[in-house]
């Protein structure tokens, strides 16, 4: 494969505790009294954070998304690199172009976290919403609608990598971030991090793995 696009949060890093803390902070900030244990329970049971917010009763308005994402960025020390990520990236970087593709707002915030995790030098490029907006000549690329935003990110990454959908693979941990890649004709690999997301991942993935260590073997099968 000429290019490999890696999702960041949840795929390269374990963000379970970070996600719980941030969602709990956000819903309570907007006046919905939900316990941290309840948020933790919902994160395990539901397929995505948007479902968790919906279950708590918080509508993800522009103001809510802005607060939520700002708090998420500040809590980066809670993220932990998944086992096997660093050696896997090192091995794959020798044969493919590696691009971190994430729905985060700015490239700067992602670089800061990748440096914190000591893996920033393993990526050839980083594609975030501000990078894609500049590529397409837009003032900004909103987080929602999510599907449209994610597809734009992949289109931008394809252009930067100078690759085609046929020689590109996307690796992610949520079905909704892989479906836009599928629609572009890109091969998708789903990483199961929550059992509740497995069914959705299976529908959106050409291959499903339970550990990032399985990725090299999966790519060989291609």
- Give the CATH number for residue 201: 3.40.50.1000
Q: How many CB atoms lie within 10 A of CB 61?
A: 11
Q: Which residues span the domain enclosing 43?
A: 16-78
d(CA 50, CA 58): 10
DSSP code at position 82: P
Domain final position from 26, 57, 78 = 78
What confidence tier does 118 reach under pLDDT thresholds 50, 70, 90?
very high
Task: Check: CB of residue 184 under 8 Å from CB of residue 165.
Answer: yes
Tens-place pLDDT, residues 187-218: 999 999 988 889 999 999 999 999 999 999 99
Query: Do both 202 and 117 map to the same domain?
Result: yes
Tens-place pLDDT, residues 50-97: 999 999 999 999 999 999 999 999 999 999 999 999 999 999 999 999
* CA distances in angstroms from 197 to 106, 192, 210, listed in the order given: 27, 7, 12
Query: Do both 192 and 127 map to the same domain?
Result: yes
Domain final position from 50, 78, 106 = 78
Query: Do both 154 and 209 map to the same domain?
Result: yes
Domain final position from 61, 78, 95 = 78
The mean predicted confidence, pLDDT, of the chain is 96
């Amino acid at each position: 494969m000429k290019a490999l696009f890696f999702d960041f949060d949840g795929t390269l890093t374990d963000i379970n505790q970070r996600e719980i803390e941030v969602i709990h902070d956000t819903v309570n900030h907007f006046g919905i009294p939900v316990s941290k244990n309840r948020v933790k329970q919902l994160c395990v049971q539901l397929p995505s954070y948007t479902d968790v917010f919906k279950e708590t009763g918080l509508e993800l308005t522009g103001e809510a998304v802005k607060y939520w994402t700002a708090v998420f960025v500040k809590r980066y020390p809670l993220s932990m690199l998944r086992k096997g990520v660093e050696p896997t990236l090192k091995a794959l970087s020798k044969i493919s172009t590696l691009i971190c593709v994430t729905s985060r707002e700015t490239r700067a915030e992602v670089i800061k976290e990748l440096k914190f995790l000591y893996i920033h030098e393993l990526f050839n490029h980083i594609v975030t919403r501000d990078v894609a907006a500049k590529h397409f000549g837009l003032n900004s690329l909103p987080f929602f609608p999510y599907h449209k935003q994610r597809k734009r990110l992949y289109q931008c990454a394809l252009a930067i990598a100078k690759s085609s959908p046929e020689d590109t693979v996307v690796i992610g941990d949520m079905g909704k971030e892989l479906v836009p890649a599928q629609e572009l004709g890109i091969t998708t690999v789903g990483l199961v991090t929550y059992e509740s997301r497995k069914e959705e991942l299976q529908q959106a993935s050409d291959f499903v793995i339970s550990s990032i260590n399985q990725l090299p073997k999966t790519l060989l099968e291609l």
